[in-house]
Structure 1
Amino acid sequence: MNESPALARGGVAGIVVPPAPGHDLFEYEALAVSAARAAYADANAWHHQALGELILAYERLLRETRRLVRRSDREELEMNRLNQRLHELAQELQYRATHDALTGVLNRAAVIERARHHLEREGLALIVLDIDHFKRVNDSFGHPVGDEVIRAVADCLRSEVPAGTEVGRVGGEEFTVLLPGRDLAAAAALAECLRQRVTGHDFALPDGQPVTASFGVSSLAQGHGFDQAYGLADAALYEAKRAGRNRVACAPG
């Protein structure tokens, strides 16, 4: 007499032993069907017809369950993919909300927010710079060339500033550099390095003229407001403009 699957797995007649972990999800059910088929093979059993109907119903249930599990797995994978995409879109929206589309540096709103954050917690040095005679570039060569100049200036700034320093664009040709915890002397030294970096860059204008920038620097202790810090740096910037441009001027310490 042949052993039923249940007996082969160490069980007794009519009892199905659960499979060890790591097997097919429905191995226990498959063994139950196999044991039922073994009982069904006895055509003289009084429960023969009822057992046959039960086997058919159970097999249909298994097929439907397997189909639902496969569908659930596909939908879970799709949900994970959608969640990942939503996360990426949220990051992209956050980036666009805080960064200038032309240059990739912080936009005006983000500069103000970050500056206020630093001034609430520590001192802040602020550099404000403006591209000299930028209107001449736009008027002579058009706005696409002007945009290239703006992008190149942003690249000059990013390549020169140290870690922990934030660059932003607050106007058409006006930029800021935030230096948390730095004093006026350190900010002025960095501004001079930035000025030289811009002056030495080849902007490849059609007429071969160089591009320069003027800088204003301020530094305030913790507890002051952004408007005061920016106003002082902006006043120093205009002092640099009045003194002949392409230079650094500092607000009173």
Structure 2
Amino acid sequence: MIDLHELFREESEVLTRSQDVAAQTTLSAEDYRDALLMLNRHYQRLMRETWRMISRSDRAERELNRVNEQLQQLAQELEYKASHDPLTAVWNRGAIIQRISNTLIHGPAALIILDIDHFKKINDEYGHPMGDRVICGLVSRIQAHCPDAASIGRIGGEEFTVLLPHYRLSDAVIVAGAIHASLNASPLAVLPGQLVTASLGVSYGKPGSDFETLYNNADAALYDAKHHGRNRVFFR
């Protein structure tokens, strides 16, 4: 704890002496002048010290604000990295599962699961860097044909989900059909020499249903699509 008396000890002594001088009526003008000058010098010194303290406080406040801004930015970056896929920038597995579960608490939702057809062959023929570019190109194609309310997630590898809150099954099938048609209409820009197609499964969840049921139904529909030759849309 700061001892204020000790902190301002010298100023207190000067002030006491000045008060003693002021209380006397028999001193010479020179004595009064000396006391006033001493009081003035200490007052100026106190002003300079106060100004330096204020300046240091301002610098410290500015530095603290800068550090707080950096911490907030770092927290946002960490939160983003914890919830997004580093390659495609869509929601990662944990984050999209949580979003699906939260959505079903408040209302119905439809889910699309998309799996790239023969993706291993692309990696084998062109290498994994090209495989990564194909994945990113395909995500861009999905985003171009999804409504603003959709949440796209990467479940793993070449498998993606599209969450459609408050969508009926028939409307979700239309979205899946648009994605499917787009992939068959033209090659991805990163691999112009061939089409990159996908198999899609669609399901619907009522309010209060759970992620596992919604996902398993879409996954079963995806299996049907693959079983019937891939590059098609099935729903359950």
Band the TM-score falls in, shorter-chain normalisation: 0.7 to 0.9
Aligned pair partner of 1:68 in 43, 53, 56: 53
Aligned pair partner of 2:201 in 183, 205, 216: 216
The equivalent of 1:80 in structure 2 is 65
Matched, 1:138 2:116: no
Aligned pair partner of 1:225 in 207, 210, 218: 210
Q: Aligned partners of 1:206 and 1:149: how far apart in 2?
A: 7
The equivalent of 1:235 in structure 2 is 220
TM-score by length of 2: 0.85
Give 1:121's aligned amino acid.
H
CA shift, 1:204, in A, is 5.0
Q: Aligned partners of 1:90 and 1:211: how far apart in 2?
A: 38
Give 2:97's aligned amino acid.
I
1:16-61 deviation line (CA, Å, top 9, x unaligned):
xxxxxxxxxxxxxxxxxxxxxxxxxxx8254222221111111111
Identity %: 47
1:193-247 deviation line (CA, Å, top 9, x unaligned):
0112222343356682210001000001011110110000001001011111111
Cα pair 2:134 2:191 within 8 Å, conserved: no
Aligned pair partner of 1:192 in 170, 174, 177: 177
Structure 2 residues not aligned, in runs of 5+: 1-27
Q: Aligned partners of 1:168 and 1:206: how far apart in 2?
A: 23
- Matched pairs, number: 210
Aligned partner of residue 58 in structure 1, secondary structure:
helix
Judging changes above 3 Å, is the alpha-carbon distance between structure 1 residues 201 and 49 closer, same or farther for their aligned structure 2 residues?
A: farther
Q: Aligned partners of 1:206 and 1:239: how far apart in 2?
A: 27
Runs of 4+ in 1 over 6 A off after TM superposition: none
Q: Which range moved further: 86-95 or 226-235?
A: 86-95
Structure 1 residues not aligned, in runs of 5+: 1-42
Matched, 1:173 2:158: yes
Aligned partner of residue 47 in structure 1, secondary structure:
helix
The equivalent of 1:103 in structure 2 is 88
TM-score by length of 1: 0.79
| Structure of higher RCO (CA pairs closer than 8 Å, 6+ residues apart) | 2
More helix by share: 2
Judging changes above 3 Å, is the alpha-carbon distance between structure 1 residues 73 and 84 closer, same or farther for their aligned structure 2 residues?
A: same
Cα pair 1:127 1:215 within 8 Å, conserved: yes
